[in-house]
Amino acid sequence: MTNPVLDLADVNVFYGAVHALRGVSLRVDEGEVVTLIGGNGAGKTTTLAAVCGLLRPKSGKVTFRGGDVAGMQTHKLVAQGLVMAPEGRGIFPNLTVEENLKLGAYTRSDKAGIAADLKRGFELFPRLAERRRQRGGTLSGGEQQMLSIARALMARPNVLLLDEPSLGLAPLVTQAIFATIDQINKEGVTILLVEQNANIALKHSHRAYVLETGEIQFSGPSAELRNDPRVKAAYLGEG
């Protein structure tokens, strides 16, 4: 078995007295799209926060490219290639689309590379190219989600963390976002995806973990979980 690029081993996180993550273990191998699904309050976003340095686990290990990064400052993780597009998008509403994108490259100084990646971001999301001079706050929800992902890509991630990319979006826009996620993965970016829409998440990932009340309940290849009667009944509205 290859060494995972990202590995969580028995991670426990508390919010005060609340035990939010209970011994969570998961791995993401180079080149994979791995999804974490579960209902509201299952601990999905908490897991990403523990990965990217926003929360320090009480115990357990978070390993990125062979090094223990539990509790490491987020900007240092970004410089190492671990980058998140957060839930709620987190764009700067008073800055233009182009200014938002350039901020994604704040850890870099290679002007030619930044210009090339800016061009690539506009190729991936043509809607953003049309609106490059518009303020972020004037974009639709779908366009803001595109901007959030494109900005994260400006940091040249090895692993891209996506938190609820379909949240609040119409089905057609969601399909377009996930088609681009597929493309990003084909170009060599490893992805850990948190998503409440289990159906689309399982269709666009290689492996999946199902989280309930802070614990991993099931895991396996996404195609197998899509056909698991327990997952169908609980998350896919079937059975």
Which residue segments constitute the domains of the chain, with CATH numbers given?
6-90+157-235 (3.40.50.300)
226 token code pair: 């899509």
Give residue-wise pLDDT tens across range 158-184. 999 999 999 889 999 999 999 999 999
pLDDT at 20 over 60: yes
Residue 1, number of CB atoms within 10 A of its CB: 5
Alpha helices in 33-109 (DSSP H): 44-51, 74-80, 97-103
Of 54, 47, 48, 44, residue with least CA distance to 75 = 54
**pLDDT of 1:** 56
pLDDT band at 50 (very low <50, low <70, confident <90, very high): very high
Compute CA 37 distance to the chain's CA centroid, rounded to the nearest angstrom: 12
**pLDDT of 38:** 92
Is the separation of the CB atoms in 144 and 155 below 8 Å? no
> Residue with structure tokens 């992902």?
149
Strands (E), the chain: 6-15, 18-28, 33-37, 59-64, 67-68, 82-85, 159-163, 190-195, 207-212, 215-221
pTM of this prediction?
0.93
**pLDDT of 86:** 83
Report d(CA 192, CA 144) in Å as an integer: 20
> Residue with structure tokens 């850990």?
192
